[in-house]
Amino acid sequence: MFFTTIKGLIAHKLRLFATALAVTLGVAFMAGTLVLTDTVGRTFDDLFGNVYKQTDVVVRSQAAFGAGAVVQRGRVSESLLTEVRAVPGVAQAQGGVFGYARLIGSNGDALGNPAAGAPTIGGDWTESARLNPYDLVTGSPPAADDEVVIDAASANIGKLAVGDTTTVLVQGPPQRVRISGIARFGTVDSPGGATVVLFRHTVAQKLIAEPGKFDTISVVAAPGVTQQQLAARVAKILPASAEAVTGAAMTKESQAAIRQAMGFFRTFMLVFAVVALLVGAFMIFNTFSITVAQRTRENGLLRALGASRRQILASVLLEALAVGVIASLLGIVGGLGVAIGLKELLGAVGIPVPAGSVVFKPATVVISMVVGVGVALLAALSPARKAAEVPPIAAMQRGLVGSTGYGSKRRVYIGSGLLLGGLATLLIGLFGAVSEGVILVGTGALLVFFGVSTLGRTMSLPLSKLIGAPLPRLRGVTGELARDNAMRNPKRTAASASALMIGVALVGFITIFVSSTKASVEQAVDQSFIGDIVVTSGGGMSGGVDPSLAKRLDLLPEVANATGLRQGFASVEGQVEFVTGVNTATAFDVLDIVPIKGRAVDLGRSGVAIRQDVATNKHLAIGDVVSIVFRDTGAQQLRVAMIYAHGQFVGLQEVHPSYLLGMPAYDANFATHFDMQINIKQAGDVSEAAALAAVERAAKPYAGVSVLNRAGFKKQQTAPLNQMLALVYALLGLAIFIALLGIANTLALSIFERTREIGLLRAVGMTRAQLRSSIRWESVIIAVQGTVLGLAIGLFFGWALVGALEDEGLTVFRVPYGSLSIIVALAAVAGMVAAIGPSRRAAKLNVLKAVTSD
């Protein structure tokens, strides 16, 4: 039996290749992702290991609130440093600060992308070489108040050299600085692709943090004192608001943070691996089903000659095993390529991965092999069973090829069950108040795919009929043949279409999701923004533009009102929330906030405004006291001074602000004073162009900001979506490409089966062109069928997700009929392309040989 399997494999190298390719790609994605995340994880582990190698204890403020990625810590008093130095066993102690600083390159453009990519960090140059994680490459430490050291990556990108003068955006007006030195962070040019500016100690406190305060105090132990002992001793003299952490613990914490950041990326990539594997499974199932059907007589003969059912089953599974093993091995090798490619891609988008050898864990090989081979075997199981069921008498029979009809009742029940279960699981995951929502959504989506493909055979016949309906009229007997052939084996047509369906469903879903998001953003801008011009700071959550800009803009004669917006984290009654700072004098003229109770002027230094539905939920009324914990000032009691409706701030972290503070209250409780966005209403008597020009002139010194009119603002807010769309399209395009190969494969096998029929058709007068056209249209029917099913699923996924995210600002569900029509048209074209090879081969068949073949 083994011998026949191997012979069969060698005889069909091309088919084997096409079938294996899908699994290979899936495994390559998976292995690549594992290799990359392992590699990045390892290099960052090493990096942080080095950074804290010399630090035995770190003193910092206790977390004010929050957990995980949003831990908010205040700063400790500078005076603690002297006390820490006095603790027995302390050999050295050094204070450090960090905050937001954004460097301007030699061409005047701001470096980094704090809003959507690499962060921009400011800090102080640590005098102690032992404790300083940065190593100077050229130049010297900052010696004057206007001197800075910058990271080597930024020096390179911004074309800045030692001795150059440039600008740094910090708190307060932009600062002119001179570059005294360029440094590397351990083994990399910059930590995680961040732009780094290091000032002198006191300057850093003033410009990017708070005077008289440190973010951390790093401590070196005297010989013979362990980290734990030292931490315990230092902890004793600290106030309750501060804590002492060992260097080892700091290393672990940083490593864990990086792992968490990588987690999203890992999940994202693995989703595509699963998609490719799923498509691969369908292809294997289909190819094996067809070849098993074609070998019915052969298997019957083997049975007649004494082969047992188990032996037939084993021979088919053996073939699948070979496909799985070859595909997985190729996939693992390809995975290394994928890992290197992804590493370059990360570097290209500004997240350089530290240099270091590729980490290729045995676990990666094992996992990839098990998954790849498992998928192949599972997919081939049902065809193998079919093969084993062939009775010996089949050796003597003819023409028992394939199955027709709608599929059994049981199949319909199982398919419907899977589909309904999938839909329910998906909806519970999206709308239900469950903690494992993401897993439920993923499982639900998978079940939907399985359900639809199980029902595929039943749906395929009417679908083919419907899709092919215009063909006889358009293409005559050629079209009729195409439709009849697509309908003659619904099981095969459905399986080919299912492979395509998966990719198209996800493309359709993403397209609908993105178009709904865009529509929602546009609607939000139209409804909530009653101004004319927006200035976005480009500073992300941690930075922004100095409030002086808003003041200057408000004074311009071309401007009626200019109002700055800020947003930060706070803990409201134990929950981490965003609080938004508004200028009560100007905000209500430019923003769509409608006070319902109370007055904005009453907000003052200790008042808070609450959105109506939040207030109702929390049973809060005007005059009630709310306890809010701020990072920099701790717990504060604020009085509810106003309740408002509406309010939608596009471009801020929280789009529907729940809590508003007046600027006096905001500034009193947040140490950093940045505007994230400035909304402007132009004066009544000037043109938009004139107002824009005036605002641009005034904003000129504040590099990194964008001055936008409504249309420009909409575009800026939706631009990242286009990038995401392109990336997802590229990844899913691969899955669709594989599925098209699958259609070509199926067609080729079907044509092989129909050799005699094709001979007859050619003999009685079908031209080569007619034959090719007929096969092309058959392919189009299959492709369009997969696409239509996929889009139906994608439409549902899109609708469900948009509905689930309504609270996050996705208020519009928009189906981009234009784009979806293009997808269907492309599918039809792709179907034609997939048919090129098979139809050519069919047309080249020798008529006489075909018509007299067995």
Partner 1 sequence: MTTPVLFHEARTFTSVAAAARTVDATKIYGIGETEVRALDGVTVAFARAQFTAIMGPSGSGKSTLMHCVAGLDSLTSGRAFIGEADLSALNDRELTILRRDQVGFIFQAYNLLPTMTAAENLTLPLRLAGRKPDREWLDTVVEVMGLRDRLHHRPSEMSGGQQQRVAVGRALATRPQIVFADEPTGNLDSKAGTEVLEFMRNAVDHMGQTIVMVTHDPMSAAYADSIIFLADGRIVDEMAHPTAGRVLERMKQFGE
Name the residue among 497, 565, 376, 391 with its Cα closest to residue 780. Answer: 497
Distance of CA 817 to the CA centre of its chain: 25
- Report the residue number, 198 or 761, with the smaller CB distance to partner 1: 761
Tokens of 155: 């020096």
**Given the complex with partner 1, which of 700 and 840 has the nearer CB atom?**
840
Q: How far is the CB of 396 from partner 1 (least distance, A)?
A: 16
Rounded to the nearest whole angstrom, what is the least distance from the CB of residue 322 to partner 1 in the complex?
34
The CB-of-292 to partner 1 minimum distance in angstroms stands at: 21
**Assigned token pair, 734:** 């691969």
Closest CA to 213 of 73, 79, 65, 83: 79
Residue choice 84, 230, 461, 481 for contact with partner 1 (CB under 8 A): 481
Q: Which stretch binds partner 1 (CB under 8 A): 144-152, 328-336, 485-493, 507-515?
A: 485-493
Mapped onto helix, strand or coil, the DSSP state of residue 786 is helix
Residue 463 and residue 788 in contact, taking contact as beta carbons nearer than 8 Å: yes
In this structure, are strands 175-185 and 147-151 parallel, antiparallel, or unpaired? parallel
# chain residues binding partner 1, by CB under 8 A: 24
Torsion of CA 646, 652, 653, 654, to 10 degrees: -10
CA distance 271 to 260: 17
Radius of gyration over alpha carbons of the chain, in Å? 33
Q: Which stretch binds partner 1 (CB under 8 A): 325-333, 479-487, 579-587, 673-681?
A: 479-487
Shortest spacing between CB 300 and partner 1, in angstroms: 20
In angstroms, what is the minimal distance from the CB of 371 to partner 1?
40
Q: Give the binding range for partner 1 (CB under 8 A) out of 336-344, 472-480, 540-548, 725-733.
A: 472-480
Helix (H, G, I), strand (E, B) or coil at 715: helix
Q: What are phi and psi of 390, to 5 degrees?
A: -60, 125
Cβ density class 65-74: b for 16+ within 10 Å, e for less: bbeeeeebbb
Angle at 266 between CA 497 and CA 343, to 5 degrees: 105
Distance (Å, rounded) from C-alpha 576 to C-alpha 579?
A: 10
Query: Which CB sits closer to partner 1, 361 or 849?
Result: 849
Would you count residue 488 as binding partner 1 (CB under 8 A)? Answer: yes
Residue entry with tokens 């697509």: 486
CB of 762 to partner 1, least distance (A): 7
796 to 431, 448, 791, 792, 815: CA distances (angstroms): 14, 10, 8, 6, 11
| Near partner 1 in 743-772, by CB under 8 A | 756-757, 760-770
In whole angstroms, what is the distance from residue 372 CA to residue 332 CA? 10
Is the Cβ of residue 461 or residue 553 nearer to partner 1 in the bound state? Answer: 461
Nearer to partner 1, 409 or 473 (CB): 473
83 versus 484: smaller Cβ distance to partner 1: 484
Tell me how far apart the alpha carbons of residues 24 and 22 are, in angstroms, rounded to a whole number. Answer: 5
Helix (H) or strand (E) holding 443: helix 437-468
Q: Is 733 in the site for partner 1 (CB under 8 A)?
A: no
Least separation, in Å, of the C-beta of 285 and partner 1?
24
When the beta carbons of 130 and 488 are compared against partner 1, the nearer one is 488
List, in order, residues 6 or more apart from 399 with CB less than 8 Å away.
none
Token pair belonging to 494: 């459905």
Residue 764 CB, shortest distance to partner 1, in Å, is: 5
Query: Per-residue x/- mask for partner 1, residues 767 to 796, rule CB under 8 A?
Result: xxxx--------------------------
Distance between CA atoms of residues 531 and 691, nearest Å: 12
- Provide, rounded to whole angstroms, the least separation between the CB of residue 372 and partner 1: 38
473 scored as a contact of partner 1 (CB under 8 A): no
Contact status: 847 vs partner 1 (CB under 8 A): yes
Question: Is the CB of 765 or the CB of 818 nearer to partner 1?
Answer: 765
Nearest distance, CB of residue 299 and partner 1, angstroms: 23
Name the residue nearer to partner 1 (CB basis): 507 or 761: 761
Site string for partner 1, 685-724 (x = CB under 8 A): ----------------------------------------
Report the C-alpha gap between 532 and 681 in whole angstroms. Answer: 5
Q: Measured from the CB atom, is 758 or 834 closer to partner 1? A: 758
Site for partner 1 in 7-46 (CB under 8 A): none
Least Å distance between CB 832 and partner 1?
21
Q: How far is the CB of 767 from partner 1 (least distance, A)?
A: 5
- Shortest Å, Cβ 774 to partner 1: 10
Dig out the tokens for 637 from the structure: 């009691």
CA distance 75 to 671: 10
Q: Is 484 in the site for partner 1 (CB under 8 A)?
A: yes
- Write down the residue that tokens 């190729």 correspond to: 330
> What are the phi and psi torsion angles at 444 (to 5°)?
-60, -45
Which positions ≥6 away from 493 have C-beta within 8 Å? 460, 464, 486, 487, 781, 782, 785
| Nearest residue (CB) to partner 1, 60 versus 762 | 762
Question: In the complex, what is the shortest distance from the CB of residue 836 to partner 1, in angstroms, rounded to a whole number?
Answer: 19
| Residues facing 149 on adjacent strands | 181, 198
Q: How far is the CB of 501 from partner 1 (least distance, A)?
A: 25
Q: Does 67 bind partner 1 (CB under 8 A)?
A: no
Contact flag: residue 485 with partner 1 (CB under 8 A):
yes
Q: Which is nearer to partner 1, 83 or 753 (CB)?
A: 753
Closer residue to partner 1 (CB): 589 or 757: 757
CB 375 within 8 A of CB 463: no
477 lines the binding site for partner 1 (CB under 8 A): yes
Minimum gap (Å) between residue 399 Cβ and partner 1 = 9
Contact 84, 217 (CB under 8 A): yes
Distance CA 436, CA 15 (A): 41
- Say whether residue 848 binds partner 1 (CB under 8 A): yes
Confirm if 117 and 349 have CB atoms less than 8 A apart: yes
CB neighbours (10 Å) of residue 137? 15
- Nearer to partner 1 among residue 369 and residue 761 (C-beta): 761
Nearer Cβ to partner 1, position 771 or 789?
A: 771
Q: Which helix (H) or strand (E) holds 326?
A: helix 309-348
Which residue's CB is nearer to partner 1, number 269 or number 782? 782
Point out which residues bind partner 1 (CB under 8 A).
476-477, 480-481, 484-485, 487-488, 756-757, 760-770, 847-848, 851
